[in-house]
Structure 1
Amino acid sequence: MKLIYRIVIRISFVLTLVLGVWAVFFYIAMMDEVNDEVDDSLEDYSEAIIIRALAGEELPSQNNGSNNQYYLREVTGEYADSHEDITYKDSMVYIVEKGETEPARILTTLFKDDENRYYELTVSTPSIEKDDLTDAIRNWMIFLYVALLLVVIAVNAWVFQRSMRPLYVLLHWLDDYRIGNKNEPLKNNTQITEFRKLNEAAMRNAERSERLFEQQKQFIGNASHEIQTPLAICRNRLEMMMEDESLSEAQLEELMKTHQTLEYITKLNKSLLLLSKIDNGQFTEIKELELNGLLKQYLDDYKEVYAYRKIRTEVVERGIFRIRMNESLATVLVTNLLKNAFVHNIDGGHIRIEITPDSFTFCNSGVGHPLDKERIFERFYQGTKKEGSTGLGLAIVDSICRLQGIRLRYYYENEEHCFEISGKPI
């Protein structure tokens, strides 16, 4: 998950809780304020009536034209003692002028005059429909809550995107960076200290990687030269010694075994050096290739080499398999799969190569059971030891496929061992 999405989700979750709590308190506070305003008006109205009543003045009309109403009645002392002095409640009252019943806020208060007579005054004022008010407040709060939440999230996402732009520029540069290739310089001007330090660290690591890459290339080149040369000298000397007619048959046989061992070491050294180059990413040049042509170029050579085994070969072309990869590695890939199909075959067996626009499959007869899928591409692993095999052929194929982003699959079907390579068609 991208960083911006994770941050937006977390901000949304936190804001939902915070704004939700705020909305509840705001709603309660608003309703209390509405009731307080009505209650203050009722208190002023009731106070004016009580003052007139105690002063013996004429009381106002029970309906003053504003729909406010009052009812004054004398009560007993016991009644006054058993009730609170002031109470508020919401109820329905009949409005005489309108001739209908409406919700009202009612204030009931008890007082006594100079003659110790108790009175109960009930004052009411019509209130707006509280259900309608509640619905209106709730709906508007939900609308404002959602709108505020979306605006805050959008603003945060925009600010984050703008602030993190240098990071995305750096990530894009790192994605495109290829060791050993000519790379574009990093252009990422920023005033943010942390991003400047990150840019500098990335540049330092890129320079260090380039130096190590060059050192590895030089080491591999030197190793190849220094090891291959003495091996070639040893082989030549053995060949010269084997031409000596004074050697006994036993001595000649030992020299031949030593020569074969040197040949094996030479092939092993070349394979290991190739694997090192592949793992170090030294094959950087990539172009569009047609593997059908590569197969035809080398297939006849292998047929001649292994003609004594009477192995039948069949090529089924259902399309042209094109792919972008390094040409040298493509040659190694095809030749190693060809050699594997011949070396690990049986005398009088067969090889079937099927080519489609999406896949390139080598199938061959061999041992009558499937190979170990978990280990078949391991270095030096050989299900059955074959003369002249180093156990690195399929490991090299696997390394090439992983380096070039090619899919490699082994399966056993119809008594055939199949190796399928597939990549995104061009």
Structure 2
Amino acid sequence: MKLLSLTNRYYLASILPILLVGGFLAYIILRGIINHEFNEKLFAEKKQFIHEWHTYKNLRETLYLNVGDKIEVKAVEYDPEIGSILSDTIMYDSFEKKELPYRLLKFSHKFDDRFYLVTITKSMLPTEDLIQGVGQIILILIAGLVLSLGFVSRAISKKIWTPFNNTIFSLKNYQIATPANINFDKTTIDEFKELNRVLIHMIDKSRKDYVSLKEFTENASHEIQTPLAIIKSKAELLLQNGNLDQENLEDVGKIYEAANRLSRLKQGLTMLAKMDNNQFEEVEPIEVAELITSSLENYEELIAMKEISLTKTYNSSPTLVLNNTLAYVLVTNLINNAIKHNLKQGSINIILNNDELIIENPGQPLSDDPENYFNRFKKGSAQSDSSGLGLALIKKICDIYDMRISYTVNEAKHRIAIQF
């Protein structure tokens, strides 16, 4: 959820109850004012009635003042001792032909030594219509105010948050591997100024760390390569020397294998470091089927040596936009893994679909969850010729290009599937 939407929701959740309570209080106050006015009118009519009653002797028992207003006079045998009682009631109105609300004033009065009970009623129909109309107006005003506040708040927030959105856009498009400096739009908001300042400081530090790490990786790769080449060269010369006995030959062979393993380990770690530093940005269209076929040619002798049967099924020939080096590393590591961990007289089944590459081969059962073998230096066995980085390289390349990879083992049948 966007911050702007969340802010508007909080505004609405805060303002709406206030407006509703305010509208209800306005209704109560309005009704109280109207009732007060009615009471004033009823008391005034009471005073006028008593005055006219004492002045004019021929008043009837029931007197109609206005439409819906009337006065009832009823003689009683004793004094009910009723001062003034105000109440609301419902009465049938012959003019409207329905029951309507009335405001009623009841009191007792003595005239010519007789007691009378007088009731003055006034129709509240006009005021009820007025209150209903005012209530509708209040609701409309509340709805209009909420909508107006929502639109205004959205417009203001959008304008205020423009520098922040521009900063996010700049960060998304910034590449740490490029030498260009990042620039943020100028803003008058202090908080965004501070944010941009901190981000620039962090980016500068990250770039310096990136450059340092890149130089270290390149230097380390170069410096390690030279002594490794010397060790391998000397070991080869010693292996070709006919003066060494069997025990010494075995020791030199171990040195040579260790040097080869260290060389592969150096290459794998260097490749992972370069991928972490985004040093493989150049991409081009890669025909997957052609890449697999050409890569298999380099392993024909090894496949024949292990008497492995190879099956290729190209149901489609997809083209992916990848870095050429990483595409080659991905495919060769998959093939090399399938050969290295295969069984004698085993098989390799390669299936290529439009959106998926599958490589299956028989192998030894695993002692751990297959997905854990995508971690660095995780090996299925302690054999010396494995660096433990092959699957880690494959997983890293898949992550870079948002490809999903899975590794499953079913009855000693290993299956790696990559979905493009």
Q: 1:175 aligns with which of 164, 172, 177?
A: 172
> TM-score, normalised to structure 2's length?
0.88
After TM superposition, list the pairs within 5 Å mapping 1:226-265 onto structure 2: 226-265=223-262
Aligned positions, number: 417
Q: Measured at CA, do residues 131 and 387 of structure 1 come closer, stay the same or move farther in structure 2, by a change above 3 Å?
A: same
User: Which deviates more, 216-225 or 353-362?
Assistant: 353-362
| CA deviation profile, 1:380-401 (whole Å, cap 9, x unmatched) | 2222344511111001111222
Find the aligned partners of 2:217 and 2:305 in 1 and give their Cα distance: 37
> Could you tell me which residue of structure 1 aligns to residue 364 of structure 2?
367
Q: Which residue of 2 aligns with 1:316?
A: 313
Are 2:398 and 1:384 aligned?
no
- The aligned counterpart of 2:346 is 349
Give the equivalent residue in structure 1 for 2:294. 297
RMSD: 2.9
Residue deviations 1:80-107 (CA, integer Å, cap 9, x gap): 1xx3434233332666xx5967633222
Q: Tell me which moved more, 298-307 or 331-340.
A: 298-307
User: Match of 1:186, SS?
Assistant: coil
- Work out whether 1:161 is the aligned partner of 2:158: yes
Counterpart-to-counterpart distance in 2, 1:41 and 1:199 = 70
Structure 1 residues 253, 87: CA separation in 2 closer, same or farther (over 3 Å shift)? closer
1:186-197 alignment to 2 at 5 Å?
186-197=183-194
C-alpha displacement of 1:283: 2.0
Q: Identify the residue that residue 104 of structure 2 maps to in structure 1.
A: 106
Taking a change above 3 Å as real, the CA distance of residues 59 and 105 of structure 1, as seen in their structure-2 partners, is farther
Does the 8 A contact of 1:86 with 1:109 survive in 2? yes
Q: Could you tell me which amino acid in structure 2 is paired with residue 381 of structure 1?
A: K
In structure 1, the residue matched to 2:51 is: 51
- Is 201-210 or 166-175 further displaced after alignment? 201-210
The 1:177/1:99 distance shift into structure 2, 3 A limit, reads closer
- What secondary structure, in the 3-state scheme, does the structure 2 residue paired with 1:293 have? helix
Counterpart-to-counterpart distance in 2, 1:46 and 1:57 = 15
1:40 matched to which residue of 2? Answer: 40
**Structure 2 CA distance for partners of 1:66 and 1:244, relative to 1, 3 Å:** closer
Q: Which moved more, 1:115-124 or 1:280-289?
A: 115-124
How big is each residue's C-alpha offset from its partner over 1:312-350, in whole Å with a ceiling of 9 and x where there is no partner? 112111112322332211111111111001000011111
Q: Distance in 2 between matches of 1:100 and 1:340?
A: 95
Q: Which shifted more, 312-321 or 220-229?
A: 312-321
Cα separation, partners in 2 of 1:74 and 1:306, compared to 1, 3 Å: same
* SS in structure 2 at match of 1:79: coil
Contact 1:281 1:403 survives alignment (8 Å):
no
CA 1:74–1:129: 2 relative to 1, 3 Å? same
Residues 128-165 of structure 1 deviation map (CA, whole Å, 9 limit, x = unaligned): 17776666555554444333323322322222222112
**Residue 267 of structure 1 pairs with residue 267 of structure 2:** no
Distance 1:218 1:16 in 2: 60
Letter in 1 for 2:157: F
Question: Cα deviation per residue 1:104-137 (whole Å; 9 max; x = unaligned)?
Answer: 3222234557x88755432222221777666655
Identity %, equivalent residues: 26
Asked whether the equivalents of residues 321 and 359 of structure 1 are also in contact (C-alpha less than 8 Å), the reply is: no
Structure 2 counterpart of 1:85: 84
**Which of 370-379 and 291-300 deviates more?**
370-379
**Matched position secondary structure for 1:306:** helix
CA distance in 2 between partners of 1:59 and 1:190 (Å): 87
Identify if the C-alpha distance between structure 1 residues 222 and 60 changes in structure 2 by more than 3 Å, giving closer, same or farther.
farther
- State how far apart, in whole Å, the 1-side matches of 2:83 and 2:224 are: 110
Encode CA deviations 1:61-94: one digit per residue, 9 max, x unaligned: 82345553223455566411xx343423333266
The residue matched to 1:5 in structure 2 has which SS?
helix
| Distance across 1 between alignment mates of 2:269 and 2:98 | 100
- CA shift in 2, pair 1:375/1:221, >3 Å: same
Q: Is the 8 A contact 1:298 1:335 kept in 2?
A: yes
1:318 and 1:354 in contact (8 A); partners too:
yes
Q: Which residue of 1 aligns with 2:20?
A: 20
Unaligned runs of 5+ in 1: none
When structure 1 is superposed on structure 2, of 101-110 and 332-341 the one drifting more is 101-110
Provide the C-alpha distance between the structure 2 equivalents of 1:107 and 1:63, rounded to a whole number of angstroms.
15
Structure 1 residues 93 and 353: CA distance shift in structure 2, 3 A: closer
Mapped to 2, the partners of 1:37 and 1:175 lie a distance apart of 68
Residue 399 of structure 1 corresponds to which residue in structure 2? Answer: 396
Structure 1, residues 21-53: CA drift from partner, whole Å, max 9, x if none? Answer: 223222222222332232222222222222344
In structure 2, the partner of 1:215 is 212
Residue 373 of structure 2 aligns to a residue in which SS?
A: coil
Q: How does 1:272-283 map to 2 (within 5 A)?
A: 272-283=269-280
- For 2:106, what is the secondary structure of its paired residue? strand
Equivalents in 2 of 1:118, 1:255: separation in Å? 137
- 2:80 aligned partner, one-letter code: Y
Cα distance 1:339–1:101, how it changes in 2: closer, same or farther (>3 A)?
A: closer
Equivalent residue number for residue 4 of structure 1: 4
Structure 2, unaligned stretches of length 5 or more? Answer: none
Q: In structure 2, what is the Cα distance between the partners aligned to 1:274 and 1:101?
A: 91
Query: One-letter code of the match for 2:314?
Result: E
Amino acid of the structure 1 residue aligned with 2:32: D
Normalising by the residue count of structure 1, what TM-score does the alignment of the two structures yield?
Answer: 0.87
